[in-house]
Amino acid sequence: MPPPTEPMEPTEPMEPARSAPRGGEALLRELEVLVQDVVRTSSWWERHGVDCAILALSLLALPAGFLCLRWENALVFASGITILGVCHYTLTVKGSHLATHGALTESKRWSKIWLLFFVEVCTAFTAEHATHGHIKMHHAYTNVVGLGDSSTWRLPCLNRYVYMFLAPFLLPIATPLVAVERLRKVELGTALRTLALISLGLYSHYWLLLNVSGFKNPSSALGCMFLTRSLLAHPYLHVNIFQHIGLPMFSRDNKPRRIHMMSLGVLNLARLPVLDWAFGHSIISCHVEHHLFPRLSDNMCLKVKPVVSQFLREKQLPYNEDSYLARFQLFLRRYEEFMVQAPPITELVGLQ
């Protein structure tokens, strides 16, 4: 028996298509059939197993990282920092992202458990706001100004060099603080649960540094926590702005069909082994595929990438790709335009 077809994430109701060579709804349905054929013939290992194995390896590697920090040898100590830093971002970025989309398992119960573990225990953020901000806003209104336009990543008060080089160091501190601030908007029981799980994650990290790694005082343990939690903060912040900001932006009342919105407003970065591992293919090299089919795992996004890219190019739709370095240089040159000024609205006649 072939494995069951993976369900697609619900999308917004679409308006009746206007006259065009091929309506957006028809194009999306045609692409969905092609992608579902790939999913249907894929094994559980391909659909979920590969990514679950990467997350499991990251958890299993943590003891080695903590033990390396006991050594006085600089190379071994640096190896420990690297192991803990990469594992931290694999669990908090890749794990949280897949869990938020329910892409780790087809069980709703286990999806909820993994969501709380990866988002609240590992990432020190609130699961409810992660789901609302990412699924209900960013994915439902990709590049729609004022809704899913990635404006939360803009800090116009900072100049380009402070933002691109220094601001990422704030992420390990800002993340739990923002989470606590947003707990004012949730029910008391949910707030208490989130506070307990965030505290569990942070204290466990601190306790392991003192009792396994052998740190002698709290300040050195806290400093190591900050170092490991900021190891990949720079590419994390950069990737979040590179793949949407600087691309066409739309108004809420005149946004294009879903397939046009995603092909125009999303960009794939070239593959980078460390970021592919720690952040996942759906965030790095398969971001277009992820936005079109957000319930697919990282490995499945990579598998359907040739199908999606060929389809979009055959239909003469954009398929945006660029390298990390090229986007970095572009943002340094045009920082004021992209990150300070209000983005211009793109009007697409006949595609709404």
pLDDT tens figures, 216-253: 999 999 999 999 999 999 999 999 999 999 999 998 88
Mean pLDDT of 258-275: 95
Q: Report the pLDDT value the prediction gives residue 17, as an integer from 0 to 100.
A: 36
- Interatomic CA distance for residues 285 and 277, integer angstroms: 11
| Max Cα distance, the chain (Å) | 71
Residue 121, phi then psi, degrees to nearest 5:
-70, -50
Confidence of residue 77 (pLDDT cuts 50, 70, 90): very high
Which residue has 């809420």 as its token pair?
252
Residue 115 has which token pair? 């969501």
Q: Where are the domains of the chain?
A: 45-340
pLDDT tens figures, 95-150: 999 999 999 999 999 999 999 999 999 999 999 999 999 999 999 999 998 888 88
Where does the chain show beta strands of DSSP type E?
A: 267-269, 320-322
Is the pLDDT assigned to residue 18 strictly greater than 50?
no
- Interatomic CA distance for residues 262 and 290, integer angstroms: 9
- Interatomic CA distance for residues 263 and 347, integer angstroms: 15
Q: Report the pLDDT value the prediction gives residue 288, as an integer from 0 to 100.
A: 98
Confidence of residue 351 (pLDDT cuts 50, 70, 90): low
Mean pLDDT of 152-162: 93
Confidence of residue 19 (pLDDT cuts 50, 70, 90): very low
Is the pLDDT assigned to residue 6 strictly greater than 70?
no
DSSP one-letter string for 127-159: HHHHHIIIIIIIITTBTBTTTBS-GGG--TTS-
Helix (H) or strand (E) holding 235: helix 233-242
Which residue has 């060929």 as its token pair?
310
Contacts 24+ apart (CB under 8 A), 202-208: 202/124, 202/176, 208/66
Give 212: exposed, middle or buried? Use CB within 10 Å, 0-12, 13-18, 19+.
Answer: middle
The one-letter amino acid code at 127 reads: A
Look at the chain and count its residues: 352
Q: Residue 95, SS3? A: helix
- Interatomic CA distance for residues 278 and 82, integer angstroms: 12
Q: Report the pLDDT value the prediction gives residue 212, as an integer from 0 to 100.
A: 97
> The whole model's pTM is what?
0.90
What distances in angstroms separate CA 116 from CA 21, 112, 126, one per listed residue?
45, 6, 8
Beta bridge partners of 345: 249
Residue 96 has which token pair? 């949280």
Which residue has 């029910």 as its token pair?
187
Is the pLDDT assigned to residue 5 strictly greater than 80?
no
Q: Residue 269, SS3? A: strand
With left for phi above 0 and alpha for psi between -120 and 50, is residue 297 left, alpha or beta? Answer: beta
Which residue has 């208490």 as its token pair?
192
Mean pLDDT of 155-164: 95
Mean pLDDT of 287-292: 98
Answer with the residue of higher pLDDT: 70 or 344.
Answer: 70
The one-letter amino acid code at 246 reads: G
Confidence of residue 22 (pLDDT cuts 50, 70, 90): low
